[in-house]
């Protein structure tokens, strides 16, 4: 497997595209492993799994595992198994999330629970979690198994935490950050850290990879919060205003609510907590966010965490992969606002 296709690099391309080109052979092997391991004699299982796995996502998390392993000089093939395991964990959580949230769309297409029903979505999610653990065990690394098993538990805790904060404007920014760290950043940080574990790098390097993934994951989600109000339709697989219509308590909402006067607070309580929305409410929400700088504030927070991610990855020797991981931070934070 090739480390990096230097001739194909084009600095005008988006960092994620450059990483995908540099790791093309590894990604092809990951896709093959995903296909092999979601097969089952029970035909509904690969049908439901493929609905998401083959839905055209960017494979951000497995790319992080592959890139981290290569960045650290890993020469074996277990990083393919771990990248596939990370993608299975991510896909399983998406299947479960859509059932819990009652989501109709995922990446701009009908969600699996809409197409196949809630029960198959939950059960196939469980199947993919099991496949992920099989792949982890095949690496023979107890440290890897420890990191990813703890991460799976943290993600589940994050789901329960989110239930407690759903449609609740009494949620604090610290509580919202805790949900983000559990639901999103935990898998980002595990994805990068296990690459370093495979390569056997010193603890300081493993911690730097963990920090990079953690801060990148937080920045990613905070920017995602902002994109629902400031992004272009279809940018992230959903239409602008989806979070608002679902009454999700996100960073821009929390900032606008904290700065609101009594009339504005009544508006947020009606639309977010009570989910009683009328025509024109989303436009009014945008006006209030602009008034109080809620979107720009969320993006400033994302950039701050992004700066910490950059600092962590820059502790590694200069290389094309390091530069692409560094550039990925800016892309994640400032994509299509």
3-state class (DSSP) for residue 105? strand
Average pLDDT over residues 105-116: 82
Considering the domain 15-334, what is its CATH architecture? Orthogonal Bundle (1.10)
Residues 113 and 121: beta-carbon distance below 8 Å: yes
pLDDT at 34: 95
Residue 9 zone, left/alpha/beta (φ > 0; ψ -120 to 50; rest): beta
Q: In whole angstroms, what is the distance from residue 113 CA to residue 122 CA?
A: 9
| Per-residue CA distances from 166 to 133, 147, 158, 246, 273 (Å) | 30, 28, 12, 10, 8
CA dihedral 228, 230, 231, 236 (to 10 degrees): -20
Measured at the CA of 277, the angle between CA 276 and CA 283, to 5 degrees, comes to 150
Q: Are 285 and 271 in contact, with CB atoms under 8 Å apart?
A: yes
Residues 43, 323: Cα–Cα separation, whole Å? 43
3-class secondary structure, 335: coil
Model confidence over 31-77: pLDDT tens digits?
A: 999 999 999 999 999 999 988 887 767 799 999 999 999 999 999 99
Name the pLDDT band for 166 (thresholds 50, 70, 90): confident
Domain ranges of the chain: 15-334
Checking if the pLDDT of 290 tops 70, the result is yes
Specify whether the CB–CB gap between 36 and 162 falls below 8 A: no
Q: Tell me: the pLDDT tens digits for 241-281?
A: 888 988 999 999 999 999 999 999 999 999 999 999 999 99
Exposed, middle or buried, 78 (CB in 10 Å: 0-12/13-18/19+)? Answer: buried
Structure confidence at residue 335 as a pLDDT band (50, 70, 90): confident
């Amino acid at each position: 497997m090739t480390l990096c296709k230097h001739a194909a690099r084009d600095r005008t391309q988006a960092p994620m595209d450059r990483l995908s080109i540099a790791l093309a052979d590894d990604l092809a092997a990951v896709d093959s492993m995903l296909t092999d391991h979601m097969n089952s004699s029970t035909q509904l299982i690969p049908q439901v799994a493929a609905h998401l796995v083959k839905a055209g996502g960017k494979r951000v998390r497995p790319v992080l595992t592959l890139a981290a392993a290569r960045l650290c000089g890993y020469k074996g093939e277990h990083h393919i198994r771990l990248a596939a395991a990370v993608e299975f964990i991510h896909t399983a959580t998406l299947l479960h999330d859509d059932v819990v949230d009652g989501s109709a769309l995922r990446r701009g297409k009908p969600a699996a629970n809409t197409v196949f029903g809630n029960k198959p979505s939950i059960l196939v999610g469980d199947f993919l979690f099991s496949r992920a653990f099989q792949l982890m065990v095949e690496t023979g690394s107890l440290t890897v198994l420890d990191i990813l098993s703890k991460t799976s538990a943290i993600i589940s805790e994050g789901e329960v935490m989110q239930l407690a904060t759903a449609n609740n404007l009494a949620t604090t920014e610290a509580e919202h950050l805790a949900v983000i760290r559990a639901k999103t950043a935990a898998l980002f940080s595990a994805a990068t850290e296990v690459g370093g574990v495979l390569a056997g790098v010193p603890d300081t390097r493993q911690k730097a990879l963990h920090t990079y993934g953690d801060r990148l994951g937080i920045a990613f989600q905070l920017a995602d919060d902002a994109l629902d109000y400031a992004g272009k339709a279809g940018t992230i697989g959903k239409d602008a205003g989806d979070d608002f219509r679902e009454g999700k308590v996100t960073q821009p909402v929390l900032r606008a609510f904290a700065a609101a006067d009594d009339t504005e607070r009544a508006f947020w309580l009606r639309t977010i907590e009570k989910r009683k929305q009328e025509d024109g409410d989303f436009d009014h929400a945008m006006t209030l966010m602009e008034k109080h700088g809620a979107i720009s504030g969320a993006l400033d927070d994302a950039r701050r965490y992004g700066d910490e991610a950059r600092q962590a990855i820059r502790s590694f020797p200069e290389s094309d992969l390091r530069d692409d991981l560094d550039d990925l931070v800016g892309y994640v934070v400032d994509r299509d606002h």
